[in-house]
Structure 1
């Protein structure tokens, strides 16, 4: 017997044993691996908002990328009276921002069953800028609403929360 024919016989025997072992186990195939959730990795703040979202917020496309911090990229949209920025942060949560941020005010709330918070950044109380953070995809999505001119948006927190409630169902779990 040649070396080549021994390899063929060994391969055939192993294949037969493997198929028999599958039969002995009820012929069950192992399930196909499920794709791993990507969380916010593929979440793009510049393309996430729909035309309806932008209309609700009183802003228009195109958005402009904002990268003040590499760990918290965002996209800024401007309207006649309103400034809107949508950020993502894959490393923080609503709970960690409560203790780790510089806030004049930080109020936790619930948006459609998700942890969320309404927050005024330190020193922004008088400037009419409000943030609403929502736990999403293992991190947070943050809606920030401000005014083009002072008092253009009488209730920036109300506007940010309204938009956050509108987009929440589409955010990653």
Structure 2
């Protein structure tokens, strides 16, 4: 790189920094001298639901240790494990919390309760009452972990009981 190029790059970088510092004032337009702290990454974003359960946990629940993609929508990635009677799903969502899910979802029932000492809820989606499926939501790492149990036959399992049991046994390991 020649001297002219280095000088132009250094000048451009300096101008960019000057422009950024000029924009960091308070509401009255005065510079506070303290740059805004960078936004903190949510711990839930680096959490991998697909590696969360130990193989022994899965087999004790009557589930395969082989996970499959369980995310239906992009903002809720995760995995599912199938057994003879049920499917267990664990998803994450960095944009929602237990509180925001209550108002943003369509629920036949939504009961807030403590799950392993965390804010949580046991919920049944609209139209799913009596169909063998249940969701347990737990606040974790600035977002929410979503446990789901679906019975392969309508009466094969107590889906809410199973989902709540799994969440209570494992939610303490979720990101803070």
Q: CA distance change for structure 1 residues 96 and 53 in 2, over 3 Å: closer, same or farther?
A: same
TM-score normalised to the size of structure 1? 0.75
**Structure 1 stretches (4+) deviating beyond 3 angstroms?**
none
Counterpart of 1:157 (choices 149, 157, 160) is: 160
Match of 1:168?
A: 171
Q: Is the counterpart of residue 84 in structure 1 residue 88 in structure 2?
A: yes
Find the aligned partners of 2:136 and 2:172 in 1 and give their Cα distance.
Answer: 15
Whether the aligned pair in 1 keeps the contact of 2:64 and 2:82 (CA below 8 Å) is yes
1:53 Cα offset (Å):
2.4
Unaligned runs of 5+ in 1: 1-35
Deviations 1:58-111 (A, max 9, x none): 211211012311100121110011111111001100000111111110000002
TM-score normalised to the size of structure 2? 0.74
Q: Is the counterpart of residue 125 in structure 1 residue 129 in structure 2?
A: yes
Find the aligned partners of 1:156 and 1:111 in 2 and give their Cα distance.
Answer: 16
1:54 Cα offset (Å):
1.0
Find the aligned partners of 1:118 and 1:78 in 2 and give their Cα distance.
Answer: 21
Deviations 1:100-146 (A, max 9, x none): 11111000000232100000011111211000000000011111001
SS at match of 2:67: strand
CA RMSD of aligned residues (A): 1.4
Q: CA distance change for structure 1 residues 62 and 111 in 2, over 3 Å: closer, same or farther?
A: same
Find the aligned partners of 1:91 and 1:38 in 2 and give their Cα distance.
Answer: 10
1:57-72 superposed matches below 5 A = 57-72=61-76
Paired residues in the alignment total 137
Match of 2:105?
A: 101
1:50 Cα offset (Å):
1.0
